[in-house]
Structure 1
Amino acid sequence: MQVTDHTRWEQPFPVRFLIVGERDDEDATGVDLLLGRCAAVEGLFADPPPPPREVLVLRGCTPGVTAGWLGSAMIRGRSDAGREHWWELLDAEVLVVGPYSADPALVNLVVSAAIGKVEDFRFAQDPCESFELVSSQDEPLTTCVLVAGLLKSRPGCTSLPVRLIGFEPTEPLRAQLDSGSQRWPAYTELWALDDTGRVMARVPTGLSIDGTSPSVLRGGLLDVDLSVSPGRLPGSAAREVWRQWQPGPPQQPGSWRGLSVAAKEEWQSLALNRRDPEPDRSGGEYHLAGAGVEDETGLHCALGEAINGPGGYYGRESTGFEDCLGGGFGAVPPFTLVWHDFAATERELAEETDLPAGRSYPEFLARAMEYRKVRVVRA
């Protein structure tokens, strides 16, 4: 499907989004199928609601924890067979430290928190014999006999509402809508277009339609209500990144600096999406601006920019970076990378060092490149 064939229509406003499905008939599996186009989307940058707060009672704890805010933490349980189960605590606070009636040497902790991720697989077959409260730095804070209120089902947010505004369905989709059929393509994406008509992002929204109505934009268009899994939406962190990319791929280096980690991750997604296939090239010299990268995600934004220009992609983490060195993303070894302000990069990422022998993440990447025949000049 040629996107440029569908970016213009007889409306007084531009096409901003395409709905594209994957044909599932035997002769066209994997072929893109245009289902419609629209002027705007509401709810695209919504975040799932936070989980509700709960009160847990950690009974029979070793003393040492005082009342006060903990922040992010985790409860980790261990079974007799050595299996571990864990529960993530968000914005946790110890409300009260009280006596444990069964043993005066131990205490009870009343903890308020929202429960985030849970890994309690096969708990019923292999229950925990003891529990441990652990800090966000994986530092054990206390052990306890049991945790009242912990073991229960917690339904998550299953879907969020998204509305397509000013939607023009293609004839195949309109026929299905008119017939009431729900046989949508198994895999459907929302393609966001930038001002040049280029596909800026692909969001796997699916096509679970809750209802349709005449559009507020009129012109024979529809407004279509969808239910979308929260994990498929870009979320609020992506809004500023999309705004920067809306005129087209960025032209100024370092436009990602100062963004949050989540926003820089979205920057990487847009950079990967806009990448055009190009032949591998070896040799040459590239310059990495190493000051002000702030975190590992920023460092990979800087690497992509150094090798493929503003808005360039060359891996979003160490594994992806090594994949890029293998070809298909422009530069392949041997080449030279001049890493300016290498010491500043190490200082900024010092807290993220968690590698063998205490080696910094920048040094880890530099040595990985050197192993792959890239000459790294630490400037």
Structure 2
Amino acid sequence: MGEHDDDRATRRFRLTDTEDGLPWGICDSVDGLFGEPARGTYELFGWVPAAGEVRGWIGSRVWLLPDDAAAGGEEQGPWLLEDAESLGRPPGTDGLVLTGLDDYEGPPEGHRTPVRLHDGRRWLGSCREFTRVLPPERAAPPLVLRGLAPRERLRAALARGTRRSLDLEQAALEIRDDRGRLLTERLLWTRVTDWRPSSRGTDLIDLQLDGARYDPVPEHARPLWERRLAGPPDTPGTWARLDARGRAAWLELVREAGCRGPGRDRPAGHAYRLDGTHVTDEAGLYLALGEAVNGPGGYFGGCLAAVADCLRGGFGHTAPATLLWRDIGTARKHLSRTLTADGRPYDLFSAVLDVLAGGGMRIVPA
């Protein structure tokens, strides 16, 4: 097979230079793709639960809302912890320990005023102050591309072996499913730390990359990734039996696959059928809507703004259209009383109906 043959469909991973789009190499296996991302850890002092103890996984999005009055009137917006978990109360204290992904909108260091917490659906409790617990430093595990077929440009860089030539700068790790379809990609700041001949074939290498600037896919999502890497589901509702954490992870995979390229819009006047039996949370809403428009594993937005974008075309819908919504009462029951990031009551169910109607999709209970 030649240097420029398009063999992407036979290899799951493709390392590509983001600057020029040219590949560094392709392989079937990557060690270190899954792991535990760096999580922020916070101890909340004087914890008062709102409705029972908070234990285990508590939400894909948990908001910390500061008390502006206690902060001397200085306005502070809410802070977001994603994929938040409670480690429970430290023995002999009145506190609570939380962990979560907080790179996006994490709390500022040294905050010392009361904070209330909610998960978008209910208040979890409050504390008089909190502090960030610095975890012990640990070396990030490397990414190892096993059985990599290197392109000539990578061979040349390895042959030079200088610090500069081994710094590949920003690259994209493209990930395809078993049918050769691009599922997602992960952006990397890549520095080669080792390479050696691979046992997987002649002219193949095992390429080791510094993992310090890579956030691994969480281990809890591995089974869902493995299921999706086998190809898109053949039947609708495969997500329905997942718990809230699993639904959030599945929705992220659906979103990444659905945004890889333009979809085929059905002609105006089409009637879509949504099975709302399992629409008991926000992720379930978007998963059911995606399948209604684009079939099993289909995508049609992962938030209200994204649904509005999808309604403009390119994602299976052409206005006007009809959405036949079976068991619409389930979504009304579970999504009518939610909370905004800053803790205000919010009717997500009505907001979804308004966005759909505004995009030319008529809702008919079925």
Q: TM-score, normalised by structure 1?
A: 0.74
Structure 1 counterpart of 2:6, which letter? D
Q: Are the aligned partners of 2:87 and 2:99 in contact in 1 as well (CA < 8 Å)? A: no
User: Does residue 222 of the first structure (1) align with residue 205 of the second (2)?
Assistant: yes
1:148-163 to 2 correspondences below 5 Å: 150=131, 159-163=140-144
Query: Is the CA contact 1:40–1:164 (under 8 Å) kept in the aligned structure 2?
Result: yes
Contact kept? 1:203, 1:234, Cα under 8 Å: no
The residue aligned with 2:182 is 199
Q: Which stretch of structure 1 is more off in the superposition, 354-363 or 272-281?
A: 354-363
Quote the RMSD (CA, aligned, Å): 3.9
Structure 1 residue runs of 5 or longer lacking an equivalent are: 9-13, 24-30, 97-108
The 5 Å alignment of 1:336-355 reads 336-349=322-335, 352=338
Q: Counterparts of 2:157 and 2:313 in 1: how far apart (Å)?
A: 43
Given the alignment of the two structures, is residue 120 of structure 1 paired with residue 112 of structure 2, yes or no? Answer: no
Structure 1 partner of 2:36: 47
Q: CA deviation at 1:362?
A: 2.8
8 Å contact from structure 2 (residues 11, 27) kept in 1: yes
The code of the aligned residue for 2:305 comes to T
Determine the C-alpha separation between the residues in 1 that align with 2:314 and 2:32: 35
The one of 239, 247, 255 equivalent to 2:238 is 255
Larger RCO, structures 1/2 (Cα 8 Å, 6+ apart) = 2
Tell whether the 8 Å contact from 1:43 to 1:162 is kept in structure 2 after alignment: yes
Residue by residue over 1:126-147, the C-alpha shift from the partner in whole angstroms, topping out at 9 and shown as x without a partner, is: xx6x621534455664547xx6
Task: State the shift of 1:276 in Å.
Answer: 4.2
Q: CA deviation at 1:236?
A: 2.4
- Quick check: 1:21 aligned with 2:17? yes
Counterpart in the other structure of 1:111: 95
Report the CA distance shift for 1:5/1:152 in structure 2 as closer, same or farther (over 3 A): closer
**For the Cα contact (< 8 Å) 1:48–1:230, is it kept in 2?**
no
Kindly tell me: are residues 294 and 234 of structure 1, through their superposed partners in 2, closer, same or farther at Cα, counting changes over 3 Å?
farther
Does the CA contact (< 8 Å) of 2:183 and 2:256 recur in 1?
yes
1:166 to partner: Cα distance = 0.7
Return the alpha-carbon distance in structure 1 between the equivalents of residues 223 and 87 of structure 2: 26
Q: Tell me the SS of whatever aligns to 1:321.
A: helix
Aligned to 2:26: 37
CA distance in 1, matches of 2:302, 2:132: 37
- Give the aligned residue type for 1:239: R
- Aligned ranges for residues 163-312 of structure 1 at < 5 Å? 163-181=144-162, 182-183=164-165, 184=167, 186-228=169-211, 232-259=215-242, 260-273=246-259, 275-278=261-264, 281-312=267-298
1:209 maps to amino acid: V
Alignment partners' CA distance in 2, 1:80 and 1:52: 26
What is the CA–CA distance in structure 2 between the aligned matches of 1:115 and 1:353, rounded to whole Å?
Answer: 21
Q: C-alpha deviations, 1:148-184, integer Å up to 9, x for none?
A: xx37867887844221111121000110111124355
Alpha-carbon offset, residue 332 of structure 1: 2.4
Q: State the TM-score, normalizing by the size of structure 2.
A: 0.76
| Counterparts of 1:235 and 1:115, CA distance in 2 | 14
Change (3 A) 1:273 1:357: closer
Name the CA distance, whole Å, in 1 between partners of 2:168 and 2:266.
36
- Per-residue deviation at 1:69? 5.4
Q: Is the Cα–Cα contact under 8 Å of residues 27 and 146 in structure 2 kept in the other structure?
A: yes
Cα 1:240–1:275 shift into 2, 3 Å:
farther
Report the identity percentage.
26
- Tell me the residue number matched to 2:353: 366
Paired residue type of 1:20: T
Check conservation: 1:288, 1:339, Cα contact below 8 A. yes
* CA separation of 1:232 and 1:143: change in aligned 2, threshold 3 A: closer
Q: Residues 164-213 of structure 1: CA distance to partner in whole angstroms, max 9, x if unpaired?
A: 11112100011011112435554311112222222222222342222112
Does the C-alpha gap of structure 1 residues 257 and 140 become closer, same or farther in structure 2, counting only changes over 3 Å?
A: closer
Structure 2 CA distance for partners of 1:359 and 1:252, relative to 1, 3 Å: same
- Please say if 1:313 is aligned against 2:294: no
Given residue 214 of structure 1, which amino acid in structure 2 is its aligned partner? P
- Is contact 1:300-1:317 (8 Å) kept? yes
- Once the two structures are TM-superposed, the CA of residue 286 in structure 1 deviates from its matched residue by 0.7
1:251 is displaced (CA, Å) by 2.1
User: Which stretch shows the higher mean deviation, 215-224 or 112-121?
Assistant: 112-121
Q: Residues 309 and 156 (structure 1 numbering): CA distance in 2 closer, same or farther, change over 3 Å?
A: farther
Aligned length: 338
Write the distance in 1 (CA, Å) between the matches of 2:275 and 2:172: 35
Q: Flag the 1:32–1:253 CA change in 2: closer, same or farther, 3 A.
A: same
In structure 2, distance between residues paired with 1:166 and 1:231: 20
Establish whether residue 330 from structure 1 lines up as the match of residue 316 from structure 2: yes
Where 1:257 maps in the other structure, the secondary structure is: coil
Deviates most, 183-192 or 131-140: 131-140
